[in-house]
């Protein structure tokens, strides 16, 4: 009787596939976790061997034969299987898709290039140039050491510059010494070449590899293999690195754990932070989540279940209150009441004066405005025409740098019209303000100053970004205008002023997570000011100077902000006090999208009719994107387990719905954006 091999394939079906092993070959349990080439329909595919079952539901005579088992790599370890299986089950995605899509492309190819062999370096725990720890750092490290080697989750809450990274480095050093591998996850490697350099400089012989989407295919393949072979003792990467196979895991660190980019927003919509916690638990190793502004979910986990609930904390909270460098202070944050000090071209008198002072002292200023382009809309005052995107329910943004109107949602671009397309009026008005306009205004107001704009348009690649950063460091810039790109992870020693130009809109946004994001952004951007020996100042232009969010910012008081917001969330019944999933559908016509969602709503799995709360199926806020109408349906339960059980059955019901061929849908568990 031929041997049977069970294979995971990258196909949108919630099942594995059985093949028989060609005569003369015999597979052993050591082959589980190896790749295998199989016929699939008319094609060849690379799959992963998940089992060697003794029988198959498919009659033997109908089983096709697998072609070749690829043994060029060590088999994927058992804990990797548990991770991808958990991911598939939790996010309701076919497991084969999770498994295969987390492999580098080269390993999924049926015609692989021959890779260079990976050399295993001797474990080298040598660490170079470490500063003496501060008392707070000592305490945090002692608490982690006291926790011992098993699973513990620590929430490291430390203000910007308090030395969180130094703690990561010390933990990595211990992990190296214990002969184990460390996984360090960061939100955007593009913005953190500094961190990579810092880790490499500290552990020059630890075979640090990075894993992120900007790596070329060959490098990603090589680095992934180094992780799997154990040659890489430190793996530094963005969210996809949470799947890196590690034969000897010893530590996971998630830096800036609150950052939304840990959540994948398309394809498999997973949270790398949440998967990292699962992974640490099942590997029995410590995990450290670090942030100056933790997500409210993590904060609630560290603080028991929040207001009025005495449930035990799941994460151990470690706090760093002061900056690590001797004498370095947190910046002074001040509110500029723009009802009184009315801005001209977006800039209040106080902000202008503060910039002036920096120019005199040869220091740098950063103006923070989270909106790209020149103006968010072009309009005709004569007839009321506005620059709408034909494909989206959104405005085309005026970009003067390359004289075009551009949609930030679908990428559509057109030349700026010379006259109103409706009435011919030649006097079109640009409304609102983006970074380009601010750049122009500053150039006019301070002709002697060197103004540099840093946003996704000016720093579109890592190379561009690094060139801009180098200019800032070299002191070739007096005034920076930037989006949140500039807010993250960079030390500019001469930067002593941060001006927040117009943050108010997020206070009252329909998305209830907007204030949390705003607070994190402002704390982060404020953290850029005065990192070295020069004290920093932050000016926030606002019409609502008494708003509690700004008051907490002035006091650098994240815990106060978090406590107030968690209380609101609890009263309103929002996460983390409830658990949610979002079903979204898009189609050429809204009626089709909504009717699909309503059918789904009416098709709960048998026995689960009243398990969850349904909201109404509604159009999404950006109701049309790239010519497709979009709707959403929110489901909710106070129990994560109940929601999970419901979703597992529901997704099967949804797959059975007969929908127009042009309709696309997806389910997102723990959605972040509404």
Helix (H, G, I), strand (E, B) or coil at 298: helix
User: Which C-beta is closer to Zn ion: that of 141 or that of 410?
Assistant: 410
Q: What DSSP state is assigned to residue 465?
A: H
Give the whole-angstrom CA distance, residue 480 versus residue 498.
9
Selected range binding Zn ion among 114-122, 174-182, 405-413, 599-607, rule: CB under 5 A: 405-413
Q: Could you tell me the smallest distance in angstroms from the CB atom of residue 321 to ligand ADP?
A: 11
Identify what 405 binds: ligand ADP, Zn ion, none; CB under 5 to 8 Å per kind: none
Question: What does DSSP assign to residue 386?
Answer: B
Alpha helices by DSSP H, 500-614: 514-526, 548-554, 558-572, 590-601
Other beta carbons less than 10 A from residue 97's beta carbon: 20
429 in contact with Zn ion (CB under 5 A): no
Q: Which residues, other chains included, contact 323 with Cβ-Cβ below 8 Å and sequence gap of 6+?
A: 159, 160, 161, 162, 163, 329, 330
Asked if 533 touches ligand ADP (CB under 6 A), the answer is no
Binding letters toward ligand ADP, positions 100-139, x by CB under 6 A: -------------------------------xxxx--x--
Look up residue 376 and give its two tokens: 């968010």
Query: In the β-sheet with 153-158, what is the strand arrangement from edge to edge?
Result: 209-211, 234-237, 181-185, 249-255, 287-291, 153-158, 316-320
Q: Which of 389, 398, 590, 634 touches Zn ion (CB under 5 A)?
A: 389
165 binds, among Zn ion, ligand ADP, none (CB under 5 to 8 A by kind): ligand ADP
Q: Cα separation of 102 and 590, whole Å?
A: 34
Which structure tokens are listed for 293?
A: 């502004």
Confirm or reject binding of residue 408 to ligand ADP (CB under 6 A).
no
Find the part of the chain contacting Zn ion (CB under 5 A) among 62-70, 77-85, 187-195, 378-386.
378-386
Question: Of 473, 475, 502, which Cα lies nearest the Cα of 490?
Answer: 473
Q: According to the binding rule CB under 5 A, does residue 423 interact with Zn ion? A: yes
CB nearer to ligand ADP: pick between 323 and 630: 323
Residue 133 touches which of ligand ADP, Zn ion, none (CB < 5 to 8 A by kind)?
A: ligand ADP
Judged by CB under 6 A, does residue 162 bind ligand ADP? yes
Nearer to Zn ion, 202 or 408 (CB): 408
Dihedral, 228, 234, 237, 240 alpha carbons, nearest 10: 30
| Residue 137 vs 348, nearer CB to ligand ADP | 137
Residue with smaller CB distance to ligand ADP, 162 or 436: 162
Question: What is the C-alpha end-to-end distance of the chain, expressed in Å?
Answer: 55
257 binds ligand ADP, rule: CB under 6 A: no
Element (H, E) at 454: strand 451-454
Q: Please, which residue, 86 or 168, has the CB nearer to ligand ADP?
A: 168
Tell me if 38 sits within 8 A of 66, measured CB to CB: yes
420 binds Zn ion (CB under 5 A): yes
Cβ-based nearer residue to ligand ADP, 257 or 478:
257
The 10 Å Cβ neighbour count of residue 263 is: 18
**CB of 544: closest distance to ligand ADP in angstroms?**
29
Residues 286-325 that bind ligand ADP (CB under 6 A): 324-325
Task: Tell me which of ligand ADP, Zn ion, none is bound by residue 162, counting a contact when its beta carbon lies within the kind-specific cut-off of 5 to 8 angstroms.
Answer: ligand ADP
Q: How far is the CA of 8 from the CAs of 20, 32, 40, 49, 108, in angstroms?
A: 14, 11, 12, 6, 12
Is 166 a binding residue for ligand ADP by CB under 6 A? The answer is yes
Q: How far is the CB of 157 from ligand ADP (least distance, A)?
A: 10
Residue selected from 36, 236, 369, 380 as contacting Zn ion according to rule CB under 5 A: 380
Q: SS in 3 state form for 82-97?
A: HHHHHHHHHHCCCHHH
Catalog residues that contact ligand ADP under the rule CB under 6 A.
131-134, 137, 158, 160-166, 324-325
The residues binding Zn ion (CB under 5 A) are: 380, 382-383, 385, 389, 391-392, 407, 409-410, 412, 420, 422-423, 425
């Amino acid at each position: 009787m031929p041997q049977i091999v069970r294979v995971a394939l990258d196909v949108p079906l919630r099942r594995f596939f059985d093949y028989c092993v060609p005569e003369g070959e015999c597979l052993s349990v050591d082959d589980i976790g190896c790749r295998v080439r199989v016929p699939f329909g008319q094609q060849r595919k690379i799959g992963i061997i998940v089992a060697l079952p003794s029988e198959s539901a498919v009659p033997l005579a109908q089983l096709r034969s697998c072609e070749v088992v690829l043994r060029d790599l060590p088999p994927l370890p058992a804990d990797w299987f548990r991770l991808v299986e958990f991911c598939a089950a939790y996010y309701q995605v076919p497991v084969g898709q999770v498994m295969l899509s987390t492999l580098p492309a080269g390993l999924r190819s049926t015609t692989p290039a021959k890779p260079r062999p990976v050399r295993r370096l001797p474990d080298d725990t040598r660490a170079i140039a470490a500063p003496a720890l501060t008392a707070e750092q000592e305490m945090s490290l002692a608490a982690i050491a006291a926790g011992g080697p098993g699973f513990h989750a620590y929430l490291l809450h430390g203000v910007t510059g308090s030395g969180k990274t130094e703690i990561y480095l010390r933990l990595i050093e211990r992990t190296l010494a214990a002969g184990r591998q460390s996984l360090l996850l960061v939100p955007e490697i593009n913005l953190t070449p500094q961190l990579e350099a810092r880790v490499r400089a500290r552990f020059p012989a630890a075979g640090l590899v990075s894993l992120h989407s900007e790596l070329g295919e060959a490098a990603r393949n090589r680095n992934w293999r180094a992780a799997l072979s154990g040659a890489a003792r430190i793996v530094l990467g963005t969210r996809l690195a949470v799947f890196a196979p590690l034969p000897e895991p010893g530590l996971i660190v998630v830096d800036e754990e609150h950052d939304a980019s840990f959540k994948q927003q398309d394809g498999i919509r997973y949270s790398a932070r949440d998967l990292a916690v699962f992974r640490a638990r099942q590997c029995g190793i410590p995990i450290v989540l670090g942030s100056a502004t933790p997500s409210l979910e993590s904060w609630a986990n560290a603080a028991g279940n929040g207001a009025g609930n005495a449930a035990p904390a799941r994460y151990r909270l470690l706090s760093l209150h002061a900056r690590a460098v001797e004498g370095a202070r947190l910046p002074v944050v001040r509110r500029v009441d723009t009802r009184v000090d009315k801005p001209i071209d977006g800039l209040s008198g106080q902000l202008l004066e503060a910039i002036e002072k920096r120019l005199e002292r040869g220091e740098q200023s950063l103006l923070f405005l989270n909106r790209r382009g020149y103006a968010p809309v072009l309009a005709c005052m004569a007839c009321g025409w506005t620059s709408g995107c034909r494909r989206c329910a959104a405005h085309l943004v005026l970009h003067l740098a390359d004289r075009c109107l551009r949609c930030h949602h679908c990428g559509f671009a057109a030349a700026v019209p010379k006259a109103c397309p409706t009435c011919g009026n030649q006097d079109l008005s640009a409304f609102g303000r983006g970074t380009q306009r601010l750049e122009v205004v500053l150039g006019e107001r301070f002709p002697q100053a060197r103004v540099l704009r840093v946003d996704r348009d000016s720093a579109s690649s890592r190379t561009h970004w690094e060139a801009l950063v180098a200019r800032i460091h070299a002191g070739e810039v007096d005034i920076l205008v930037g989006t949140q790109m500039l807010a993250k992870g960079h030390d500019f020693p001469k930067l002593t002023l941060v001006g927040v130009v117009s943050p108010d809109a997020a206070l009252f946004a329909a998305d209830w997570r907007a204030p949390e994001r705003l607070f994190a952004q402002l704390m982060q951007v404020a953290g850029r000011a005065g990192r070295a020996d020069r004290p920093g100042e932050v000016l926030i232009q606002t019409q609502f100077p008494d708003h509690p969010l700004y008051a907490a910012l002035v006091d650098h008081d994240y815990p106060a902000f978090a406590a107030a917001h968690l209380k609101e969330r609890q009263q309103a019944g929002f996460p983390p006090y409830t658990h949610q999933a979002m079903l979204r559908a898009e189609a050429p016509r809204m009626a089709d999208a909504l009717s699909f969602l309503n059918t789904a709503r009416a098709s709960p799995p048998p026995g689960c009719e009243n398990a969850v709360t349904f909201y109404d199926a509604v159009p999404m806020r950006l109701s049309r994107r790239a010519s497709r109408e979009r709707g959403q349906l929110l489901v909710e339960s106070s129990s994560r387990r109940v929601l999970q059980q419901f979703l597992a059955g529901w997704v099967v019901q949804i797959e059975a719905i007969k929908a127009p061929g042009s309709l696309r849908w997806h389910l997102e568990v723990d959605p972040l954006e509404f």
